[in-house]
Amino acid sequence: MLRPIGQVFQPADYPNLLVGLDSPDDAAVWKLNDQQAIVITTDFFTPVVDNPYDYGAIAAANSLSDVYAMGGQPFLALNIAALPPDLPHDLLSEVMRGAADKAREAGVVIAGGHTVQDAEPKFGLAAIGFVHPERILTKGGAQPGDRLVLTKPLGFGVTTTALKREAADPEDVAEVVGWMTRLNRQAAELAVEFGLRAATDITGFSLLGHSVEMASSSRVGFRLVYDRIPLVSCARKYAESGNFPGGAADNRLYFQPFVRFTGGIAEWAEMLLFDPQTSGGLLMAVPHEKYEAFRARAAQVELPLWEIGGVVAGEGIEVVQGDRI
């Protein structure tokens, strides 16, 4: 479906497009001048929770995350909404209010947007941010010896699927909503402060899918240590009972040829690494010599941070059992 875009637009014709056509990433980046570039992205999806306010806040945090994943700071956004006309107006307003409050927390103004009628609600943002052209985070900047860190746990997909099946406990839903509504702003600011070059946000393609993209773009391999990978407290419960969304099977089907599991990891545990996330954390490659200072700074600003593996020479993703990096 996307092939015609590459046939019409040639990267060489757009030298100011720093990230986009020839290097697919979390967002497009257009250079304005030597000090400033524009980051632009869009994302929207159907509801993942029942509460309309939370849905709007999660959708906004998820959309803004792609700007943060490039090292940018968002400042402007537009709503994108497809809404059923038979739903109560006050419910739909709550979706908009949740997004507006989350955008204001991020220092972003929502200046309008576009709405159409649809049988199933869909909502998100088109977001724009600024980034310095020499401080862009991309999927292709990881180097052997870098340490891989993650800023949010996994397990959002299995929990929200359990919610759709009316099998989720309210306290579990509250836990994942707390994570999904958390902005990745602080993580992006820390990455820029330490001059990192490689990052991506963990969303629909799962930890393993986005790791494959990042490793492939960087022409390296990743070694992930399973017991170091953080999970929300209810993830195992819902994984063992089979509450995986359809996207988890799609992710495994597509990305498994690039992944090697060693050490007898259970199938449900493997599947959690293919679990689609909504508004997940940033996966960042931190140079070895910067890691201790980076970790100390993260603790100082109370940024959750887990070291989950490292970058190695080679290709593909190896997931090993145990907790030794």
Which strands sit side by side in the sheet containing 109-117, from one edge to the other?
17-19, 28-33, 36-45, 122-131, 73-83, 109-117
Kindly report, residue by residue over 30-69, the tens digit of the pLDDT.
Answer: 999 999 999 999 999 999 999 999 999 999 999 999 999 9
If one counts the domains in the chain, the total is 2
Cα 258 from Cα 222, distance rounded (Å): 11
- Domain range for 260 is 147-320
Q: Which parts of the chain fold into alpha helices (H)?
A: 3-8, 52-69, 89-105, 156-164, 170-180, 185-193, 206-218, 235-240, 246-255, 267-273, 291-300
Q: Looking at the DSSP assignment, which residues form a beta bridge with residue 40?
A: 28, 128
Kindly report, residue by residue over 185-204, the tens digit of the pLDDT.
Answer: 999 999 999 999 999 999 99
For strand 316-320 and strand 259-262, is the pairing parallel, antiparallel, or unpaired? parallel
Residue 89 sits in the same domain as residue 30: yes
CA neighbor of 39 nearest in space, from 2, 69, 62: 69
Q: What is the pLDDT of residue 7?
A: 83
pTM of the model: 0.96
Q: Is residue 165 part of a domain?
A: yes
Question: Computed over its alpha carbons, how large is the radius of gyration of the chain?
Answer: 19
Q: Is residue 136 part of a domain?
A: no
Q: Is residue 25 part of a domain?
A: yes
Residue 117 sits in the same domain as residue 186: no
What DSSP string describes 51-85?
-HHHHHHHHHHHHHHHHHHTT-EEEEEEEEEEE-T
Domain boundary among 131, 160, 188: 131
Residue 61 sits in the same domain as residue 116: yes
The domain that holds 282 is classified in CATH as: 3.90.650.10
Q: Looking at the DSSP assignment, which residues form a beta bridge with residue 154?
A: 231
Residue 201 sits in the same domain as residue 304: yes
CA 281, 282, 285, 291 torsion-angle sign: negative
Say whether pLDDT at 23 is over 80.
Answer: no
Residue 167 sits in the same domain as residue 261: yes
Q: Is residue 219 part of a domain?
A: yes
Q: Which tops the pLDDT comparison, 23 or 116?
A: 116
Q: Is residue 137 part of a domain?
A: no
Q: What is the pLDDT of residue 6?
A: 77
Residue 153 sits in the same domain as residue 273: yes
Residue 162 sits in the same domain as residue 121: no
Kindly report, residue by residue over 245-271, the tens digit of the pLDDT.
Answer: 999 999 999 999 999 999 889 999 999
Domain boundary among 80, 97, 131: 131
Helix (H) or strand (E) holding 147: strand 147-150
Q: Is residue 236 part of a domain?
A: yes
Say whether pLDDT at 4 is over 90.
Answer: no
Kindly report, residue by residue over 78-104, the tens digit of the pLDDT.
Answer: 999 999 999 999 999 999 999 999 999
Kindly report, residue by residue over 152-173, the tens digit of the pLDDT.
Answer: 999 999 999 999 999 999 999 9
Tell me if 245 sits within 8 A of 161, measured CB to CB: yes
Q: What is the pLDDT of residue 21?
A: 84
Residue 46 sits in the same domain as residue 95: yes
Q: Is residue 188 part of a domain?
A: yes
Residue 253 sits in the same domain as residue 121: no
Q: Is residue 91 part of a domain?
A: yes
> What is the band of 1 on the pLDDT scale with cuts at 50, 70, 90?
confident
Domain boundary among 131, 161, 178: 131
The domain that holds 19 is classified in CATH as: 3.30.1330.10
Residue 120 sits in the same domain as residue 164: no
Residue 151 sits in the same domain as residue 125: no
Residue 249 sits in the same domain as residue 121: no
Tell me if 311 sits within 8 A of 146, measured CB to CB: yes
